[in-house]
Chains A and B, each alone.
Chain A
Amino acid sequence: MISFSQENDIIVKESKYRKFDVNEIRRDFPILERKVNGKPLVYFDNAATTQKPNVVIDSMTHYYRYENANIHRGLHFLSEVATEQYENSRLKVKEFINAMSASEIILTKGTTDGINLLANTMCRADLLNEGDEIIISHMEHHANIVPWQLLCDRKKTKLVVIPIDDNGELMMDEYKKLISPRTKLVSIVHTSNTLGTVNPIKEIIEIAHKNNIPVIVDGAQAVGHQKIDVQELDCDYFVFSGHKLFGPTGIGVLYGKAELLNKLPPYQGGGDMIRTVTFEKTTYEDIPNKFEAGTPNIVGGIGLGVAIKYLNMFNFQDISRHENELLQYATEKMILIDGLRIIGTAKNKASVISFTIDGIHPYDLGTIIDTDGVALRTGHHCTQPLMKRFNVPATARASFSFYNTIDEIDVFINALNKAIKMFR
């Protein structure tokens, strides 16, 4: 049982992992009890956003009820409490991804914000120029394509793309061939939001580093499903969002090696990021404050810290095992369905299943399945180049989290079969 003490601390022994009992875990997430269209909610849209446990929700209302104040300014009691909590979250993030120092943790609005911060500041620092090349992959989310295209438009830098095979795996030989003296950056997704492919990220980084090329990892779909250790990966930057980690929306993390972050200019100007301001010249704070202009999403930061604390109660091996069971079970059931094609069949795959069914538009499938309370995602999943690669306009996608169950997959499969009957 988790409860709050007066100091808003979760009373839990972090040294001991909680026993993995999915029914007990589900009780932590109040939304999983609700009904949709008169049926129990089956939430299979976890790659879009995860649900929030009571501890996160409670921490946020508790903050607004009893602790709300602006941070990093004011000597008064509440300001100090709020600052301590916000900065405590930064520490939690640091420990969670094993960064060397809390100053390497920039709190952002989310993954997209983190990548835009890097693209903008790298552009202003002239780290990428005419004729230089940035390597991305064919399975990137638009958030790891468009910010670089905006930069390329300004600097005449070139975006080059690692191809993928029919299973949705990166063609590593092609990656090696793409590296040249012109390559100045690799920005790559850890786990594909559409295919579920888990990329050999350590190997990708090693290859880049042999050529002195820095690497940005888009970890949006990786965090919350596997242990991330940025020092072990040796990535230069790692970005992710709080809301895919059972935390609130509008808060995310940009990790960067201190030596690299120190070389980048500020992103946005404003309060909290300056040391002195005169009309003639302004000097800036050190990292991380240099990149955090204005009043931040304080409650979001606090919620993220609590989400991490919640997740820390579990052993990632238990989470992976359970999610893998769900993936295997659902895949086995789905391939029996006539005309169903799974897009993304990589050997190392996260619990994401994109699929199409012959003769049925994903929109129609999603609409009918929703009447049974099953939440799927349909569309291009912000990966239009990937849709083109597999020659489909859109797919339906089921993505599982550690609170999902085998019983829910049975409900989903029944709903799928019912929908197919309606259209065939």
Chain B
Amino acid sequence: MTINEIQQGIIKEFENITEWEDKYALLIKFGRDLAPFPTEFRTDKNKIEGCQSQVWLNASFSNGKLLIDADSDSTIVKGLAALLIKVYSNQTPTEILSSPPEFLHKIGIDNHLSPTRKNGLGAMLKQIQLYAVAFNALNREQL
């Protein structure tokens, strides 16, 4: 599936949820369902320091695609990380860089990306994009 298709799928999933707590209940579920974060990835290098919560992010490159693993000490932030992984993991760097996370705004939780939240999520998104740039450059070199 393309990034756009995945984003549309998430938007649809949230479409009929009007109550805030139900939205968060779904996010909490995504957070809980996220694949366990391998302990060897839990390094200082992979840690994105937030003021309010912390995020760990590991990226690797396989068959021209970026693979992302993430974790957070906050369940809601972990749920948001799970959404970013759904959208951006297993995609090519080119597609990642040309697809902003519009779904966050559409489902009404882009406030968690605001710098005042200091939850490490904005930094996580930036980090994914940086990895995409780096792997893109690497890809070109190998070609």
Q: Which residue of B lies closest to A359 (CB)?
A: B75
Could you tell me the distance between the alpha carbons of A360 and B53 in the complex, rounded to whole angstroms? Answer: 12
**Considering the chains assembled together, what is the distance between the CA atoms of A368 and B25 in angstroms?**
10
**Minimum C-beta distance from A286 to chain B (A):** 42
Contact with A along B11-33 (1 / 0, CB 8 A): 00000000011001100100000
What is the 8 Å Cβ interface bit string for chain A, positions 346-386, against chain B (1 contact, 0 not)? 00000000000000111110011001000000111000000
Contact between B75 and A379, CB atoms less than 8 A apart = no
CB distance from A420 to the nearest CB of B (A): 12
Q: Flag if A364 contacts B74 (CB, 8 Å).
A: yes
Please report which residues of chain B, range 103-138, place their CB below 8 angstroms from some CB of chain A when the two chains form the complex: 118-119
- What is the bound-complex CA distance between A423 and B118, given in angstroms? 21
Total CB contacts across the A-B interface at under 8 A? 42
Closest A residue, CB atoms, query B117: A363
B73 touches A393 (CB 8 A): yes
Closest Cβ–Cβ distance, residue B56 to chain A (whole Å): 14
Q: Is the CB of B76 within 8 A of A364?
A: yes
- For residue A37, CB closer than 8 A to chain B, the reply is yes
- Nearest CB on B from A188, distance (A): 26
Q: B73 to A361, Cβ gap below 8 A? A: yes
Partner of A363 from B20, B25, B76 at Cβ < 8 Å: B76
Residues of B within 8 A of A11 (CB): none
Q: Which residues of B contact A341 (CB under 8 A)?
A: none
A363 in contact with B24 (CB, 8 Å): no
Q: A423 to B53, alpha carbons, bound, how many Å?
A: 16
Contacts of A364 in B (CB 8 A): 28, 74-76
A contact residues around B21 at 8 Å (CB): 368, 371, 418, 422
Return chain B residues, CB-CB under 8 Å to A380: 51
B57 at interface (Cβ–Cβ under 8 A)? no
- B94 part of interface (Cβ distance < 8 Å): no
Nearest chain A CB to B130 CB, angstrom units: 24
Q: Is the Cβ of B20 less than 8 Å from the Cβ of A379?
A: no
B28: A residues at CB distance < 8 A: 364, 422-423
A423 lies within 8 A of B73 (CB) = no
Of all chain A residues, which has the CB nearest B50?
A363
Q: Does B3 contact A (CB under 8 A)?
A: no
Query: How far apart are the CA atoms of A84 and B124 in the complex, in Å?
Result: 52
- State whether the Cβ of A186 lies closer than 8 Å to any Cβ in chain B: no
Q: A418-B21, A422-B25 are in contact. Are A367 and B51 (CB under 8 A)?
A: no
Residues of A within 8 A of B53 (CB): 361, 363, 394
Cα–Cα distance between A364 and B51 once the two chains are bound (Å): 14
Instruction: Specify the chain B residue showing the minimal Cβ separation from A371.
Output: B20
In the complex the two chains form, is B76's CB within 8 Å of A367's CB?
Answer: yes
B139 contacts chain A at the CB level, 8 A cutoff: no
B60 at the interface (CB under 8 A from A): no
Whether B87 sits at the interface, judged by CB under 8 Å, is: no
Quote the shortest CB–CB distance from A377 to chain B (angstroms): 10
Q: Report which of B24, B54, B119 forms a contact with A371, defined as CB distance below 8 A.
A: B24
Q: Please report the C-alpha to C-alpha distance between residue A422 and residue B73 in the assembled complex, in whole angstroms.
A: 16
Task: Report if A422-B77 is in contact (Cβ < 8 Å); known contacts: A361-B53, A379-B51.
Answer: no
Give CA–CA (A423, B74) in the complex, Å: 11
Residue B2 is within 8 A (CB to CB) of chain A in the complex: no
Q: In the complex, which residues of chain B have a beta carbon less than 8 angstroms from the beta carbon of A368?
A: 21, 24, 76
B8 at the interface (CB under 8 A from A): no
List the A side residues contacting B74 at CB < 8 Å.
361, 363-364
Complex CA–CA separation, A368 to B27 (angstroms): 12
Q: Is the CB of A362 within 8 A of B52?
A: yes
Q: Given contacts A363-B52, A363-B119, A378-B52, are A423 and B20 in contact (CB under 8 A)?
A: no
Return the chain A residue nearest B31 by Cβ: A364
Contact of B52 among A360, A371, A394, A423 (CB under 8 A): A394
B22 to chain A, nearest CB (A): 10
What are 24 A-B interface contacts by the 8 Å CB criterion?
A361-B73, A362-B52, A363-B52, A363-B53, A363-B74, A363-B119, A364-B28, A367-B76, A368-B21, A368-B76, A371-B20, A371-B21, A379-B51, A379-B52, A380-B51, A393-B54, A393-B73, A394-B52, A418-B21, A422-B24, A422-B25, A422-B28, A423-B28, A423-B75
**Shortest Cβ-Cβ A-B pairs, 6 listed:** A371-B20, A361-B74, A363-B74, A363-B53, A363-B52, A364-B76
Interface residues of B (CB under 8 A from A): 20-21, 24-25, 28, 51-54, 73-77, 118-119
